[in-house]
Amino acid sequence: MNEILFPTPDGAIMDRRDAILSELAAIASPGCLIVSEDERRAFETDAFTAYRRMPLAVVLPRTTEEVSALLAYCHRTGLKVVPRGAGTSLAGGAIPQEDSIVIGVSKLNKILDVNLPDRTIRVQAGVTNLSVSEAVSPDGFFYAPDPSSQLACTIAGNIAMNSGGAHCLKYGVTTNNVLGAKIVLITGEIIELGGEAFDAPGLDLLGLVIGSEGQLGIVTEATLRIVRAAEGARPVLFGFDSSEAAGACVAAIIGAGIVPVAMEFMDRPAIQICEAYAKAGYPLDVEAMLIIEVEGSDAEMEAELARIVDIARAHNVSVVRESRSAMETASIWKGRKSAFGATGRVADYICMDGTVPTGQLSYVLKRTSEIVASYGLRVANVFHAGDGNMHPLILYNVNDPADQAKAEAAGMDILRLCVEVGGCLTGEHGVGIEKRDLMRCQFNEIDLEQQMRVRAAFDPQWLLNPAKVFPLDGRLGANEIAA
Amino acid sequence: MMQVLAPETEAQACEAIASARADKRTLEIVGGGTRSGLGRPVRADSVLSTQSLRGITLYEPAELVVSAWAGTPLREIETLLAGKQQILPFEPMDHRAIYGTQGEPTIGALAACNISGPRRVRSGAARDSLIGLRFVNGRGEAVKSGGRVMKNVTGLDLVKLSCGAHGTLGLLTEVTFKLSPAPRGSGTLIIEGLNDARAIAAMSMALGSPFELSAAAHIPSQKRTLLRIEQAPDSLAYRMEALTGLAKPFGPARRLSDSEAHEAWAGVRDVAPLANSKAPALWRISIAPSRAAAFVADMAAQNIAQDHYYDWGGGLIWLTSGLDAAKVETLQTAAAQAKGHAMLVRASQDARAQLHVFQPQPQAMMNLSGRVKASMDPDAILNPGRMYACQ
């Protein structure tokens, strides 16, 4: 059995639960401490639902100062903390441990300041990703990173995982769109990283914190860049008779100096699943489909699409459907955007997230099918082709432990393949617990030790989200920071 | 004569650093030497040069990615990229004009010092394009972070941490940058005669328009406000016209010839307007654009600011001043109050040794930075004191 291990709960902490609850009650403001089993159950897992652990308690603080008091308490008493945004992690980044408390940021949900002349917005970190864009959309602006969970996921979670989305080919990921953050360290110290300006003085600790998976501190506020939306956006849909042709088309578009705002790939199983659900009018007789979106004025989009269509024709595209209306645009995107939900109707699935060099896309797709088939399972591929960030959805039955083990094993094989061809384990979902034990595929001991020493400079006792990212054995702590 | 170590391989670099650590010798890291005035002066026992760590190790035009050993001349890389109509997106500044240095800038320095230029407003800084690194830490260990793919969140981002650390955390040995296609066309509008506040308002308007400006600068001494769009020819023509219309409330805008525009932006990038200034201090101030004009006016009213200009739509101020300690402190305090920061980019060696070259930070930040530094370079042998005297 290759089940992901959790550390053995600390009996001394478990035995102190009642005392811990009353101590937390003295710190947390009224209505912010959750202790009953029923209510805690909502926090025992995230979107990586195959694993769950019931935390000692959940606290949902209302202010940065409260977060500070809570973390100082945890630091003083050696209590582990699992930070939580909206709990949409696909990698188990927010799954608790039995001897930990969860600190969630969901009550820190205010937009603090919109500054259109400077093109920035300051928010509390528990606001949802989508609500940031909604706050500025009446003025024609948006917040660029758009993970598919954007309706629910929080900025705190986006910062923890350095989230991407369909549009990061042009606009970058979270780390390229955050100017500043207020972060509470495990000691309770409150630190401002970055700020309003384009760059920050001293070491780029903000860049280090983004993507650190809640291991360095809890972010309570952030200053984000907002971007003026283009005059218009329009997708074109291409069908190809082979994945290779679709992959070559993607490479040729980039090679021609065109960087579309999005280039999304779906393979035949994914097309079938999404079409059955969304009735988007996708072609059912092709092996691969691309959705490519361009932006600009009508004339600019016409010209850009014409160049892209020419390239696709040179790669034997079999279906070309250019959007001619807002309705058609919505319909083309509807299928893609509902891919995960639609797949969930067909079967349980785990979603992998490795990135590969785009030149390796065809090979990796072929190998992915072979790997999954060798375990007797099925796979659907929906992913961001422009940046090589693959999302094979491995279909299995969650009620069958043997099936789940096979799906996980197939997923691990695919991720090893991604690393072998020059890519990485995770492009936007994070390591969490899911990929923790594969870290040695991508990094050697020295690489990992350096990361752990940096981690220990923030949290020498490993109290913050400690079961994640780094393999459980061989960890370096306080005594090894400067060894 | 100071000993110069010039490893030819990463393994030799590891040996050099490990043996320096064993002997308790400090090392000053140098690349092409063109930015030798940047940061606090380092008094080290030996020089560790990247000059022999050269060569492009990966170039995949269809994947928009290039990797090279840190000592590779930038010129070599830009020539290679130009052959495929590609560029480093962040338009890196060349410091030779302000320092009067010779030699060739290296690709490693762009990462080590996070060197960007006017296109930063649109395409991000060097740190945004840097996707992979190999470096040797102060233990003499070769460490890898990031990679060659542009979406990668695996493990802690030591790439961002090392970028702009001025060699205080490790010797960068190999760097990997994300690229962009070279612009198919470029046009620059000029508006003349605006005061600072109006110019910044014009730049904010333009940068907040849907026309995707790639640069916006204001040079008060020339009374010129410059707005640049980079697009394919048809699109460029349309956007230039649309932007001219939007700019009407600020006065008539005219388009510069391509050669004038090229010269103007190279000047903005390399600080040509202030390069020949005799003022003892040249500052680089990062600030929110909406606070920039008031900050400069305040510094002028206190007889601190002498001359200045703005890049990044007002988000970057280049400013000259005198160098007495009280004025420097006033300026850095004011920058911090305006939620920005000021870096002393050009001043005498003595001044840079005595003053805060990098904006002082709150004690909790300094403590944290100190622990991070110790985790990478426990005996503080790499570029000691380059950023802060205590590190």
Domains of chain B: 1-181+361-391 (3.30.465.10), 186-270 (3.30.70.100), 272-354 (3.30.70.100)
ipTM: 0.97
Instruction: Give B19-28 contacts, CB < 8 A, sequence gap 24+.
Output: B19/B140, B20/B45, B20/B46, B20/B48, B20/B140, B20/B381, B21/B138, B21/B139, B21/B140, B21/B379, B21/B381, B24/B379, B24/B381, B25/B381, B26/B380, B26/B381, B26/B382, B26/B384, B27/B171, B27/B381, B27/B382, B27/B383, B28/B383
pLDDT of A148 reads 86
A 173-232: CB under 8 A from B: 173, 175-176, 185, 189-192, 195-208, 210-212, 215, 228-231
| Mean pLDDT score, A219-223 | 98
| Mean pLDDT score, A122-141 | 98
Element (DSSP H or E) covering residue A100: strand A100-104
- Residue type present at position A406: K
Cβ proximity of B70 and B106 under 8 Å? yes
- For B386, name the nearest residue in chain A, comparing CA atoms only: A202
pTM of the model: 0.97
pLDDT of A340 reads 85
Q: How far is CA B326 from the centre of its chain?
A: 27
In whole numbers, what is the pLDDT of chain A averaged over residues? 95
Residues above pLDDT 70, as percent of chain A:
100
Residue spans of beta strands (DSSP E) within A155-259: 178-184, 190-194, 218-225, 227-228, 233-240
The per-residue pLDDT for range A140-169, each reduced to its tens digit, is 999 999 998 899 999 999 999 999 988 888
- Residue type present at position A314: A
Return the structure tokens found at B277.
């200034």
Verify whether the Cβ–Cβ distance B372 to A195 is below 8 Å.
no
Q: Selecting from 3.10.129.10, 3.30.465.10, 3.40.50.620, 3.40.50.150, what CATH number does the domain A1-229+443-483 have?
A: 3.30.465.10
Residue A1 has pLDDT above 80, yes or no: no
- For B112, name the nearest residue in chain A, comparing CA atoms only: A203
Within 10 angstroms of residue B380's Cβ, the number of other Cβ atoms is 17
Verify whether the Cβ–Cβ distance B376 to A481 is below 8 Å.
no
- H helical segments located in A375-444: 401-420, 439-442
Biggest CA pair distance of chain A = 70
Which of A89, A118, A168 is the best mutation test for B, with the most CBs of B within 10 A?
A118
CA of B365, closest CA in chain A: separation in Å?
7
Rounded-to-5 percentages of helix, strand, coil across chain A: 40, 20, 40
Return the structure tokens found at B326.
């009280």
d(CA A259, CA A255) in angstroms, rounded, equals 9
Verify whether the Cβ–Cβ distance B151 to A161 is below 8 Å.
no
d(CA A321, CA B20) in angstroms, rounded, equals 64
Task: Please tell me which of the candidates A431, A439, A454 has its beta carbon nearest to residue B372.
Answer: A454
DSSP state letter for A88: -
d(CA B82, CA B88) in angstroms, rounded, equals 10
Residues above pLDDT 90, as percent of chain A:
86
The per-residue pLDDT for range B111-146, each reduced to its tens digit, is 999 999 999 999 999 999 999 999 999 999 999 999
> What residues of chain A lie within 8 A of the CB of B141, using their CB?
446, 450
pLDDT band for B294, please (50, 70, 90 cuts). Answer: very high
- Residue type present at position B376: M
Task: Please tell me which of the candidates B181, B235, B312 has its beta carbon nearest to residue A296.
Answer: B235
Verify whether the Cβ–Cβ distance A446 to B184 is below 8 Å.
no
Verify whether the Cβ–Cβ distance A117 to B169 is below 8 Å.
no
A 370-409: CB under 8 A from B: 384, 387-389
| Mean pLDDT score, A363-372 | 94
* Cβ neighbours for B63, distance < 8 A, ≥ 6 positions apart: A251, A254, A357, A358, A359, A388, B148
User: Over chain B, what HEC string results?
Assistant: CCEEECCCCHHHHHHHHHHHHHCCCCEEEECCCCCCCCCCCCCCCEEEECCCCCCEEEEEHHHCEEEEECCCEHHHHHHHHHCCCEECCCCCCCCHHHHCCCCCCEHHHHHHCCCCCCCHHHHCCHHHHEEEEEEEECCCCEEEEECCCCCCCCCCCHHHHHCCCCCCCEEEEEEEEECEECCCCEEEEEEECCCHHHHHHHHHHHHCCCCCEEEEEEEHHHCEEEEEEECCHHHHHHHHHHHHHHHHHHCCEEECCHHHHHHHHHHHHHCHHHHCCCCCEEEEEECCHHHHHHHHHHHHHCCCEEEEEEEHHHCEEEEEECCCHHHHHHHHHHHHHCCCEEEEEECCHHHHHHCCCCCCCCHHHHHHHHHHHHHHCCCCCECCCCCCCCC
B 316-375: CB under 8 A from A: 316, 339-341, 343, 358-359, 361-362, 364-365, 368-369, 371-375
DSSP state letter for A217: -
pLDDT band for A218, please (50, 70, 90 cuts). Answer: very high
Dihedral sign from CA coordinates of B348, B351, B352, B357: negative
| Mean pLDDT score, A292-305 | 94
Instruction: Give A472-480 contacts, CB < 8 A, sequence gap 24+.
Output: A472/A5, A472/A7, A472/A436, A474/A445, A474/A448, A476/A449, A476/A452, A480/A449, A480/A452, A480/A453, A480/A456
Domains A1-229+443-483 and A233-339 share a fold: no
- The CATH class, in words, for A233-339 is alpha beta
DSSP letters along A238-283, please? EEES-HHHHHHHHHHHHHTT---SEEEEEEHHHHHHHHHHH-----
Verify whether the Cβ–Cβ distance B181 to A258 is below 8 Å.
yes
Element (DSSP H or E) covering residue A104: strand A100-104
* Cβ neighbours for A88, distance < 8 A, ≥ 6 positions apart: A46, A47, A149, A152, A153, A157
pLDDT of A165 reads 85
Element (DSSP H or E) covering residue A2: none
d(CA B244, CA B256) in angstroms, rounded, equals 12
Return the structure tokens found at B66.
């290039």
Verify whether the Cβ–Cβ distance A435 to B181 is below 8 Å.
no
What does the domain layout of chain A look like in residue ranges? 1-229+443-483, 233-339, 347-437
Whether A121 contacts chain B with CB within 8 A: no
Cβ proximity of B20 and B26 under 8 Å? yes
Cβ proximity of A392 and A379 under 8 Å? yes
Size of interface A-B (CB pairs under 8 A): 265
Q: Can you tell me whether residue A58 is helix, strand or coil?
A: strand
The per-residue pLDDT for range B299-330, each reduced to its tens digit, is 999 999 999 999 999 999 999 999 988 999 99
Whether A350 contacts chain B with CB within 8 A: no
The per-residue pLDDT for range B175-200, each reduced to its tens digit, is 999 999 999 999 999 999 999 999 99
Verify whether the Cβ–Cβ distance A457 to B372 is below 8 Å.
yes
pLDDT of B390 reads 76
- For A448, name the nearest residue in chain B, comparing CA atoms only: B155
Distances (CA, A) of A92 to A340, A443, A470, B44: 17, 20, 13, 47
The per-residue pLDDT for range A400-423, each reduced to its tens digit, is 999 999 999 999 999 999 999 999
- Residue type present at position B17: I
What backbone torsions phi and psi does residue B94 show, to the nearest 5 degrees?
A: -105, 120
pLDDT band for B1, please (50, 70, 90 cuts). Answer: low
Residue A204 has pLDDT above 60, yes or no: yes
Residue B149 has pLDDT above 50, yes or no: yes
Q: What angle do CA A430, A432, A353 make, to 5 degrees?
A: 40
Cβ proximity of A292 and A307 under 8 Å? no
pLDDT of A2 reads 66
In whole numbers, what is the pLDDT of chain B averaged over residues? 97
- DSSP β-bridge partners for residue A233: A295
Whether A297 contacts chain B with CB within 8 A: yes
DSSP letters along A273-298, please? HHHHHH-----SS-SEEEEEEEESSH
What backbone torsions phi and psi does residue A191 show, to the nearest 5 degrees?
A: -125, 140
A 44-63: CB under 8 A from B: none
Task: Please tell me which of the candidates A175, A198, A439 has its beta carbon nearest to residue B155.
Answer: A439
d(CA B365, CA B356) in angstroms, rounded, equals 15
Just give the CATH number of A347-437.
3.30.70.2740
CA of A357, closest CA in chain B: separation in Å?
6
pLDDT of A107 reads 97
d(CA B170, CA B156) in angstroms, rounded, equals 16
* Cβ neighbours for A63, distance < 8 A, ≥ 6 positions apart: A29, A108, A220
pLDDT of A251 reads 87
pLDDT band for B50, please (50, 70, 90 cuts). Answer: very high
The per-residue pLDDT for range A41-93, each reduced to its tens digit, is 999 999 998 899 999 999 999 999 999 999 999 999 999 999 999 999 999 99
Verify whether the Cβ–Cβ distance B286 to A161 is below 8 Å.
no
What backbone torsions phi and psi does residue A210 show, to the nearest 5 degrees?
A: -70, 125
